[in-house]
Structure 1
Amino acid sequence: MTTLDLITREDLEAFKKELFEKLEKFNINNKSYKEKQWLRSSEVRKLLKISAGTLQNLRIKGVLKYEKLGGIFYYAHSDIEQLLGEIGRS
């Protein structure tokens, strides 16, 4: 003998509310790179599709400005866009 669970309209409304809350929270925690003002090294490497060594060379040569905070390198998104623009023009 099987037991049937009845789903009421209130159950569906509660589920919908919970689902949208989780989706909104997920979207807030996963900002796209364009929405961020500062990017970490790993994000820059993914965005530019370069290795850690290449990123280090860009820092050493002064091609890409950075800020170091507590051992973590941060790069301004605007500087990365500018670099990409210069590469596109050459």
Structure 2
Amino acid sequence: MPSTPDQPVTVADLNAFKKELLTEIRTLFEMAAPAPKKWLKSYQVKQLLGISHGTLQTMRANGSLPYARIGNLIYYDQYELDKILAERQQNRCYQPTKANRTQKQ
């Protein structure tokens, strides 16, 4: 219940205000908090992409795969890998050829 300047503020008013304020603060934090980055190690990237160590090294060298190096460890951003996979995704349907149809009969 809103109070006017000549009415005293009650404990109930303060509790209601506190709940309202906490709800607003939680909402702001949830909206502003970005998802934490997920970093993958080389062996995980090789498994995910189905590539060899040499291919991974070539992709780093030619700049097609961004990475971060900390000491001797190399990390890859999961978001960047997902973008690369999405760009290279092929939307193909299986269309049986005439040769495939005759072999099955």
- State the TM-score, normalizing by the size of structure 1: 0.57
Cross-structure match for 2:42: 41
* One-letter code aligned to 1:74: Y
Cross-structure match for 1:77: 78
Deviations 1:4-25 (A, max 9, x none): xxxxxxxxxxxxxxxxxxxxxx
Report the Cα distance in structure 2 between the residues aligned to 1:87 and 1:49, rounded to whole angstroms: 14
Equivalenced residue count is 56
Quick check: which one's helix share is greater? 1
State percent identity of aligned pairs: 40
- DSSP 3-state at the match of 1:62: coil
Report the Cα distance in structure 2 between the residues aligned to 1:48 and 1:89, rounded to whole angstroms: 15
Deviations 1:34-74 (A, max 9, x none): xx700000000001110000000110110010000011110
Q: Which runs of 5+ in 1 are unaligned?
A: 1-35
Report the Cα distance in structure 1 between the residues aligned to 2:59 and 2:87, rounded to whole angstroms: 14
Report the Cα distance in structure 2 between the residues aligned to 1:89 and 1:49, rounded to whole angstroms: 16
- State the TM-score, normalizing by the size of structure 2: 0.49
**Which protein is bigger by CA-based radius of gyration?**
2
Matches within 5 A, 1:1-90: 37-88=38-89
Give structure 1 regions of 4+ aligned residues with deviation exceeding 2 angstroms: none
RMSD: 2.0
Q: Which runs of 5+ in 2 are unaligned?
A: 1-36, 92-105
